[in-house]
Structures are given as C-alpha cells and as structure tokens.
Structure 1
Amino acid sequence: MREYLLYIKACGGSIPQVQTYVTPSFSVDRSFWQEREGCVLHVIGKTSSLALAFSLRAKVNGYLMDQDKRVLTDRYVKELRAIAVSGVREASSLYGREVISVQDRRKHGWFSWESVEESVEVPYQGGKESGELLDARLSYSSGRELLRRSSSNENSQEAVLSEILDGRALLWDEVESLLKKRGVEVHDLSAILHSFVLANKAEWRPGIRFSVTKGWRRNRLELVCERCGSAGAKVEFTYCHTCEQGCAYCTACLGMGRSKCCTPYFLMDVGSYLFRGAEHLQNVARLEWAGKYSVDQSRAAERARCFVANPRPGLSEYLIWAV
C-alpha cells in the first residue's frame, strides 16, 4: 500500500516563501532540495489516499494565503497540522453521508491520516546537475536501440524514461504496463517519476480529486475524474481494498482503466523528443492509410470532425478512445 506525505517547504521563515508538496518518497524530496537551496521541511502528515493528500494541500495553501502572519513559527506549523486533521474529519463525515449503504464498513471514519510532528533542516550542498535522478537504477531486458540513442546523455536513465513518457498522460498502472512493453525495468519507479515532478518536467494528480464545496445549507463533497472530467453520478463511491479507506472511481472512462482516488495520474511534459527539426521531418515517410473505418469508428470520426468544425463556447476538449 502506497503512502503519501504532505509537507511544507520554508525558506528563511517567511510565509510568502512557503510551498506545500505531496510526495510518495520524502527522501527524494529532501535530496532534491539539498542540491538546490537550503530550507526547512515541515512534515504535516501522511495518508494512503492521494486524493485526500491533495485536498489537504489545497486546504493548507488556502489557510496560508488568508493569514496576515509573515513568519512561519513552530506554533504556526502546529496550527497547520491541526487544520489538516480537521480537514480529514470533515472529508470523512461528508464521504460517509454519501455511502450510507456501506456505512458499517468503517466504524472509525472513512479516511486514515497520521499526523507527523517532524521538521527537517536541509542544508544547501549543490554540486549536481539539475534534474539528476537520485538512487534510481534501471535495467533493460530489451529495447537496446533506445538505450544507445541516449547513451551520450549525461543521465541516460532520465533520457530513456523521458522519451518513453514524453507528452503522455497515464495512470500509474498504464505507466508500468508501457514500461513493461518497452522492456524497461525500473528499480524505484515512484522515486524517478516524482523527481520529474520536482524538476517541473511532469505533473501528477489523483485519478479522482475531491474538494469540499461550501453550501448555504450544508457542505458537500465534490468528486471529479482528472482524466475525463466526469463528476456527479458518474463517479462511484466505494470502500477500496488497495488504499483500505474511502475511495471512488470513474465509471465514464472505466473501459480505459480504473481512475481512482488513490491512483496517481501522471502527466509528462512535451519535451524535445516530440519536436524534431525540419531536416528530420523531410526523412519521415508520409502516413497514408488505405484502410476503412468500421461503423463505430466512422461514427466517432464524424463526431470528432463536427466538434472541430463547429466550436462551442466552454467546450475545448473532445475525448476519443482509440483501440
């Protein structure tokens, strides 16, 4: 079972310089900041629900913005930890209201959260190139051509994964499946992918995110699928045996894989591998498909064409599942 840790990074003790992070590997974050800047990492707590961790991060960020305090003291850090605990209680209560039919599954609340009262001072050491991966080891059972193309790069490990994942948006299971198909074995995939996130080369989110929506009568829990944008009745509440707490999955895009609260959704930035020079493009054979669409494919293609030809306000994306 994966665990995600919520912490705040403070530089110089000033509130405006405080940043909040969620990490699956705190040692990677600590090493990353050690190479770039001296700071103090104040741990707030940890949970196995990625959606809960991101929700609490937003809550902590909102609290930081609303306060007039200019200095981050130990007492203020304790307040932030208390804010996180209250956020867990509220989320658990609102979640339980939505799943009355399976209420007996959780007698002590739907979400687990462990407060961690720890602050780590990270001295600046530097001396390494930005983006270098720490404690990351790859082995290759095949795909040697890909390895040869990146051998001149100072960090071939980063280059290989960057080329494979370039411009892709994949759930965690899909990343593992893609690497397996390419014959790439990764010793600590979580640490490597998170180093991309820290270096602003990628973004990660929970498959299903949730937030507390304020209402004049009562608050409610709003869940949205990060992959397809579905919400409401299309997001099914459930007790998850993976994260062992309250969870939810999207029924709208279930055929593409299960997007859940506890499943990371990884979005890799478009790098240089997708932008080839004019000389390279001249040597690429033109794609000329001579086949025919099936009935369903023709219908999907026509709807996509109509969407592009007749843009409507507020609708900028059209999701197509191609098999």
Structure 2
Amino acid sequence: MLQLAEHLEAWAGPSNGRQAVAETVFALARASAELAELVAEGPLAGELGQVVGASDDGDGQKALDLRANDLFLRHLHHAPVAAVASEEMPAPVALRGAAPVAVAMDPLDGSNNIEINGPLGTLFSLLPSERHDDPALPFTAAGDRQLAAGCVLYGPHTVLMLTLGAGVQIFTLDRRNREFRLTRAAVRMPEARREYAINASNARHWSLPVRAFVEECVAGSAGPRGTDYNMRWLGCVAADAYRVLLRGGIYLYPGDARPGYGRGRLRLAYEANPIAFLMDQAGGTATDGFVPILEIAPQTLHQRVPLIFGSRDKVARVVSLHLDGVPAAGQRPLFGARGLFRS
C-alpha cells in the first residue's frame, strides 16, 4: 500500500509551494500518529478527561485538549509554517514568519467522548501565508483559499481523510511503524443514503426550515420523502464526517434559539472549512443554510457558523427550505403547531 510520504512526494513534484504543503501535511500526520498512541492508552496516560480550564461552550477545556495542542505545535515547529491558529489558543502563534503556509486546527474534536472511550478527531486547514507582518491575516481568508485540508478520526483504527485540492484520499495508520497507508483512493460520496445526523435534543430550539427537513425524514415512507430514514449522532464531527464521506447522507449542526447558539456551535476556520473542502472534493457540499461554507470569510478567528454537509441532494433540500422560507410548512399537519416537534 502506498505510504502517505510517497503520495505527498509524488503530488508535490518540483514545486516549492507544493513541497511546503506536503511537508506541513506530513508534520500533521506524524503528530496525529503520536496522538493516536496517547488516545489508545486511555486512563493509563492519566486523567485525560479532567477539566483544566474554561471553554466558550461551557464543557470545559480537558487535559487531553491541551496535550494535543502542545503535541501538534511541537511537530509544526519543524514544518514551513508561518503561523498556527488553534481552538485551544485565543490568538494565532507565529512560527516561521517568512514561511508560505498557515495552519488552522482543532487538535482534539469530541473531547466529551474521552471518558466514555468514544470517537475523537483532529481537523486542520492549510492556508497561504503571503504577508508576514500579521500572523492573524491568513485566517481571514474564505475557505475556497485552502491549500489542503484534513480530518483524522481516532477510533478502533486511525484514519486520515485528506484533500490536496484534487479529490479525497483516505489513509489508515499502521501502528507498528507510525505510518499512514493509502486505503481508499478518490473517494466519492454516495447520493442515496437514507441517513441524517442531528442532535435532536435541541429540536424545540430549531428554526422552522431545520424542523421541516427533520420532520420530513422522521415521517419516513408516509411523508414527502417517501422512504424511511435512520438517525445517527456520534458527538464528534470528525467521526460524522467520515461516516458521511463513506456512506452519504447529511449532517446538521444548525444555529438555534438557545443563548449563544444563533450561529451554531462549530467554528468556521478550523472545523467547518476543512470539512467543507473534503465534502466538496468528494462530490458533496456544505452550507450554513443559505450560502456555501467555502464562500464565507471569517470575521474573527473563533467565529461560529451553522454547518450542514453531506450529499448534494439532501443539502440542496435544506437550502431550499431556508431560501423559500418554508412557505407551505405551516399549512400541513406534519409541520404545524401539532407536528412531531413542538416549539
């Protein structure tokens, strides 16, 4: 099986720009392999799920969050990276000021799963760094400026979902030598999968378009979609992204009426953008409900965004409900005040 290093070398060729991207991706992969070993140790590595600081989402910053952040920074110090932005840091950190690449990352996704041995992940986005006087500047670029993006899932085995702008490849970690090997090439997302993922405990807070789409799915073969659906929710967007890439369907983390959640929970620069790039390159798409995620330029580093991604047909239905204002939803019993999900 082709090793990640061989794949990156073949893709980069003699181009200095591509070589910088390849070196950075390889550094992130090496960090991921090291983190996979730490995750696998679980409680043997200490109280990884211990809350050691505050976080904006109220769940608290975990010990493993900080250890993962430090681990990735250590590896990126040896790569051609000008600056790094992380969910675990309030502001970007400058590394090599004249380097051509900037990295936005969520070093540990799904940290609420640490203590239950659930799935965890890492997300990263590579952006061009063209001005070296302001380390924050690269992270104001829209997602369509990304040079590469990836998502690592730490599960029963560890996988790296990677796009370099020419499709999506999936690599599996060979733990014996810390090497990622190509196991799925040119991944294309299936269209017809009857699955959706959303945290239904927030149903009473959803906007009408989101509620309407979910009720269409819940209604199954008796409803307007004419077929039964299954719901999935893994508590780790990296895990859900992997499932959607392989199986199709749709994932929704919309904005809702809860205080502080009007623009959702996930962060644009280092969660939504890399996932959107992967989805787009695999034949799917991602939106905030109105416009493609890749067209949104972050106004602040930790800006939140509603995130809906998956098969194009299902995402298009959610967008149409938003844009049309669900004009007939309140006229049908399924979607009215006596519908499945009441306000």
Alignment TM-score > 0.5, same fold: no
Q: TM-score range by the shorter chain?
A: under 0.3
Whose relative contact order is higher, 1 or 2, with alpha carbons under 8 Å and at least 6 apart?
Answer: 1
Give the alignment's TM-score, normalised by structure 2. Answer: 0.23
Q: Give the number of the structure whose alpha-carbon radius of gyration is greater.
A: 1
